[in-house]
């Protein structure tokens, strides 16, 4: 029987997409969470000296998106065929574009500069990328609440998590994006996801 261990910090961050896939699939795994002071003594155990890492049957796999994509394929959450999988990947790549712009805001140390970057991000970059996501949903979602093929995929789970981070900084970030708000609501209502969200540890990130 396959065994899964997920190594990450005690937070949502880049490990949460994999956890959401596990939750949606009802798959058991070891959720190994390092506190900050524990990490230096484990860093050398990881292939690239970074987290998250998935250990599958004793072999470690780095890179958050690769981990989530692998798990989605394992549990039939990646799209029904090769072209649907490519559509899911296009949505995911667009979410990653959004995240990469957002990271500059989240990790800016200078508070005044952070405020300025945040204003610009939520006024200009976020609406552009969120509109791109709605455009893809119209193309691929078959008028349903999910991004691709009118069924749950890991793209929906990834956006649920990224949306939580956006809304944590700017509560009105999705107000002009009806599909994206509905998409997150539908994901949150899924029984296995609702159960996971209710019971997961409360963490600051």
Q: What is the pLDDT of residues 111-125, one digit of tens each?
A: 899 999 999 999 999
Residues 91, 133, single domain; the answer is yes
Q: Name the β-bridge partners of 30.
A: 5
Model pLDDT, residue 107: 86
Residues 89, 183, single domain; the answer is yes
Q: Which residues of 141-179 are buried (b: 16+ CB within 10 A; e: fewer)?
A: beebbbbbbebbbbbbbbbbbbbebbeeebeebbeebeb
Residues 18, 89, single domain; the answer is no
Q: How confident is the model at residue 25 (pLDDT cuts 50, 70, 90)?
A: very high
State in Å, rounded, how far the first CA of the chain is from the last one.
Answer: 33
Residues 124, 171, single domain; the answer is yes
Residues 59, 23, single domain; the answer is yes
β-pairing, 53-56 with 4-9?
A: antiparallel
What is the percent of the chain with per-residue pLDDT over 90, rounded to a whole number?
94
Residues in the chain: 205
Residue 204 has pLDDT above 90, yes or no: no
Average pLDDT over residues 56-65: 98
* 70 φ/ψ angles, rounded to the nearest 5 degrees: -60, -50
Average pLDDT over residues 147-167: 97
Residues 155, 176, single domain; the answer is yes
Taking the whole predicted model, whether its pTM rises above 0.95 is answered as yes
- The answer to the question of residue 205 being in a domain is no
Model pLDDT, residue 109: 87
- pLDDT one-digit tens code per residue, 80-98: 999 999 999 999 999 999 9
CATH number, domain containing residue 17: 3.40.30.10
Number of domains, the chain: 2
Residue 106 has pLDDT above 90, yes or no: no
**Residue range of the domain that includes 39:** 4-76+193-199
Q: What distances in angstroms separate CA 32 from CA 8, 18, 52, 87, 204, one per listed residue?
A: 6, 13, 10, 31, 17
CATH number, domain containing residue 181: 1.20.1050.10
- Is residue 30 within 8 A of residue 2, CB to CB? The reply is no
Quote the Cα angle for 171-10-112, to 5°. 45
């Amino acid at each position: 029987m396959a065994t899964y261990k997920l190594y990450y910090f005690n937070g949502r961050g880049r490990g949460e997409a994999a956890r959401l896939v596990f939750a949606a699939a009802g798959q058991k795994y070891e959720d190994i969470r390092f506190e900050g002071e524990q990490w230096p003594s484990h860093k050398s155990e990881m292939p690239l000296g970074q987290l998250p890492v998935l250990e599958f049957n004793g072999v470690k796999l780095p890179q958050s998106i690769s981990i989530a994509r692998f798990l989605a394929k394992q549990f039939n959450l990646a799209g029904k065929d090769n072209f649907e999988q490519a559509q899911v990947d296009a949505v995911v790549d667009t979410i990653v574009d959004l995240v990469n712009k957002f990271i500059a805001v989240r990790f800016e140390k200078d508070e005044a500069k952070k405020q300025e970057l945040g204003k610009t991000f939520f006024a200009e970059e976020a609406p552009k990328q969120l509109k791109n996501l709605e455009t893809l949903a119209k193309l691929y979602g078959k008028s349903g609440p999910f991004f691709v093929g009118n069924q749950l995929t890991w793209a929906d789970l990834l956006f649920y998590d990224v949306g939580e981070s956006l809304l944590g900084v700017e509560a009105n970030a999705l107000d002009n994006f009806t599909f994206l708000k509905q998409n997150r609501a539908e994901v949150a209502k899924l029984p296995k996801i609702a159960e996971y969200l209710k019971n997961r540890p409360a963490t600051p990130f």
